[in-house]
Amino acid sequence: MDAFASLQRSIERLVRIKCSNYKEDYIKRRILSRMRLTNTADFEAYHKYLLANPQEIDLLRNALTINVTKFFRDPEVFEVLRREVLPDLATRRKSIRIWCAGCATGEEPYSIAILAHELIALHPDLNVTIYATDIDTVALEKAKAGIYDRKTLENVDEHQLRKHFISRDDGTFEVRPHLKEIIKFRQHDLMSGVPIARYLDAVTCRNVTIYFTERQKNELARLFHGALAADGYYIMGKTEYLGREVEHLFASYNITQKIFRKAA
């Protein structure tokens, strides 16, 4: 067995992630990033390090799951967006601008674009722009290509699938141009302290900050507060929370779904 195959076996046993569920290139990229941070020269050396340092198990698990996403992840949040948040914005604005921060491979911004498209059907003059950003350029390339397998699309219903995707011969689905046109994909580091735009109507930043320190999380909340228009919405991941130091910056809109509004 070669060094990579042997390492994969240990990963499956210790980290409880089935490497074969992921593209080999993706797994290798993530392991290489851990190798750089642990100063290990090759898969064999990293394998030894993993076995000798139990704390590396969690760090590697985080590295491997960091891009994980899917269409309409946590469908209840998207239901609130569809029924309440987007219609509210459409009644008050001719042009809606949303920042999807930490968009990974694009499933989240495309999910929002599907909802926005339904809204535009009701408000033909409405203009929607979604800024979708991530630090990972490889993930962004996949996002721009907009090609997904059926598993990632399991929360997309048949009607939406037919309307918004082109079925390809290899069994994958490609996002149709009318959704791609709404989204501007950009590389952006959330730790840069600079927002992608200002006077935004909503910011979604979900399942991104779990690996950030408290200080960085607070700085990010301040960054989003500064980037939002008055009353703008801030949507966090379901397991994320606002720190004490920054909770006064936002008012709860739907606490269960982690939806907030910019406080005056």
Residue ranges binding ligand SAM (CB under 6 A): 66-69, 73, 102-104, 108, 134-136, 139, 189-191, 206-208, 237
Q: Is 13 exposed, middle or buried (0-12, 13-18, 19+ CB in 10 A)?
A: exposed
Comparison of 113 and 208: residue with beta carbon closer to ligand SAM = 208
Angle at 146 between CA 77 and CA 30, to 5 degrees: 85
Comparison of 149 and 189: residue with beta carbon closer to ligand SAM = 189
CB of 105 to ligand SAM, least distance (A): 7
Comparison of 89 and 104: residue with beta carbon closer to ligand SAM = 104
CB of 245 to ligand SAM, least distance (A): 20
β-bridge partners, 133: 101, 186
β-bridge partners, 100: 132, 204
CB of 73 to ligand SAM, least distance (A): 4
CB 253 within 8 A of CB 203: no
* 103 three-state secondary structure: coil
Comparison of 47 and 180: residue with beta carbon closer to ligand SAM = 180
- Alpha-carbon Rg for the chain, nearest whole angstrom, is 20
CB of 218 to ligand SAM, least distance (A): 14
Q: Which residue is nearest to ligand SAM (CB)?
A: 69
CB of 196 to ligand SAM, least distance (A): 10
Comparison of 152 and 160: residue with beta carbon closer to ligand SAM = 152
**Scanning the structure block, which residue is given the tokens 């198990």?**
57
CB 231 within 8 A of CB 220: no
